[in-house]
């Protein structure tokens, strides 16, 4: 039986690792990237350079693959949907659309009784004044932004800056008295079928992941709850593939889901050597 050809949208570090892993099980890969010098081109069988929303590029891509995935979540929903109409995209475009937006993501988590920090939707400065109970807090763009980009720390109303572009939608999140951050990596194969790594502890410098260690130095209660929550998220999303859920633990050992990454994740890199 012939092996499927996997299309990977994005040609960075994670795309490179996906292509390299696929090669070990004799799966061919095609990378689609808007970076002509994308590192993943060195690991894939084929490489396509072009804008993600270029219909000719999309057609070329789908004609070479059997199914597709992506290495980062900031791909327009419309692009993933166009590809999915011709070849299956996993995770589903609808999953990525939900997670791309910090507000819909937090609404989803709370719908299933997964605790997050307190938050509010922010359209303008008046909304911030109406939600002063969430200050000290972090004002974040609802979409895009990572590693601290698109974020404003507010210790009080005097921290409001003229640099804030209110043509964008924001979410204001109450700051947590942070003790540490952990993440749980889950691969879901189908209904109630999982492989779950035990929680990984993450150490950051300047809001960028510096290193991770496994097992995380946490209580058994935290390990159990974070793993349960991660599998609930995967199940309720009807997720197919690998995802990562990042959690905060406060000084009183309360657990909060921070965000979901619908893809392989940097905090799981250590599993390449430790679990193979």
More confident residue, 265 or 80: 80
Predicted local confidence at residue 192, as pLDDT: 87
70-106 burial by CB neighbour count: b if 16+ within 10 A, else e? bbbbebeeebbebbbeebebbbbbebbbbbbbbbebb
Judgement on whether residues 167 and 188 belong to the same structural domain of the protein: no
- Is the per-residue pLDDT at 147 higher than 60? no
- In the chain, what percentage of residues exceed pLDDT 90? 79
CA distance 125 to 228: 38
DSSP annotation of 266 = G
User: Which band of pLDDT confidence, cut at 50, 70 and 90, is reported for residue 146?
Assistant: low
Band (pLDDT 50/70/90 cuts) for residue 1 is low
Task: Give domain status of residue 94, yes or no.
Answer: no
> Do β-strands 67-70 and 5-9 pair in parallel, antiparallel, or remain unpaired?
parallel
Query: Average pLDDT for residues 22-29, to the nearest whole number?
Result: 95
pLDDT for res 62:
98
Contact 166, 124 (CB under 8 A): yes
Q: Is the pLDDT of residue 159 over 70?
A: yes
User: Which of 151, 174, 197 is the endpoint of a domain?
Assistant: 174
* Stated pTM of the model: 0.91
Three-state DSSP at 206 gives coil
| Pair 104, 236 in one domain | yes
Domain tally for the chain? 3
pLDDT of residue 149: 63
Q: Is the dihedral of CA 188, 70, 27, 42 positive or negative?
A: negative
Same structural domain, 9 and 62: yes
User: Cβ contacts of residue 224 below 8 Å, gap of 6+?
Assistant: none
CB atoms within 10 A of CB 44: 26
Mean pLDDT of 43-52: 97
Q: Is the pLDDT of residue 205 over 90?
A: no
Range of the domain at 158: 119-174
Q: What is the mean pLDDT of the chain?
A: 93
Cα separation values, 52 from 55, 65, 73, 224, Å: 8, 16, 13, 40
Same domain, 59 and 125: no
Residues 218 and 105 in one domain: yes
Report DSSP state, residue 8.
Answer: E
């Amino acid at each position: 039986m012939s092996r499927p050809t996997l299309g990977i949208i994005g040609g960075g570090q994670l795309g490179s690792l996906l292509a390299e892993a696929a090669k070990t099980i004799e799966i061919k890969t095609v990378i689609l990237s808007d970076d002509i010098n994308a590192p993943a081109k060195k690991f894939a069988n084929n490489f396509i350079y072009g804008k993600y929303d270029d219909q000719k590029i999309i057609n070329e891509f789908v004609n070479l693959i059997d199914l597709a995935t992506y290495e980062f979540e900031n791909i327009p929903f419309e692009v993933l949907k166009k590809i999915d109409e011709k070849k299956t995209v996993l995770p589903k475009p609808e999953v990525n659309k939900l997670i791309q937006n910090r507000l819909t993501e937090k609404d989803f988590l709370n719908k299933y009784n997964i605790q997050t920090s307190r938050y509010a939707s922010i359209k303008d400065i008046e909304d911030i004044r109406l939600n002063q109970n969430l200050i000290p807090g972090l004002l974040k763009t609802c979409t895009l932004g990572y590693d601290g980009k698109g974020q404003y720390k507010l210790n009080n109303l005097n921290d409001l800056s003229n640099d804030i572009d209110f043509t964008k939608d924001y979410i204001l999140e109450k700051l947590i008295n942070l003790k540490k951050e952990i993440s749980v990596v889950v691969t879901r194969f189908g209904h109630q079928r999982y492989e779950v790594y035990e929680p990984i502890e993450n150490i950051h410098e300047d809001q960028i992941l510096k290193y991770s260690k496994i097992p995380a130095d946490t209580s058994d209660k935290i390990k159990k709850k974070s793993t349960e929550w991660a599998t609930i998220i995967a199940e309720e999303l009807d997720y197919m593939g690998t995802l990562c859920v990042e959690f905060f633990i406060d000084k009183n050992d309360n657990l909060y889901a921070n965000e979901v990454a619908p893809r392989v994740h940097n905090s799981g890199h250590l599993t390449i050597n430790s679990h193979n």
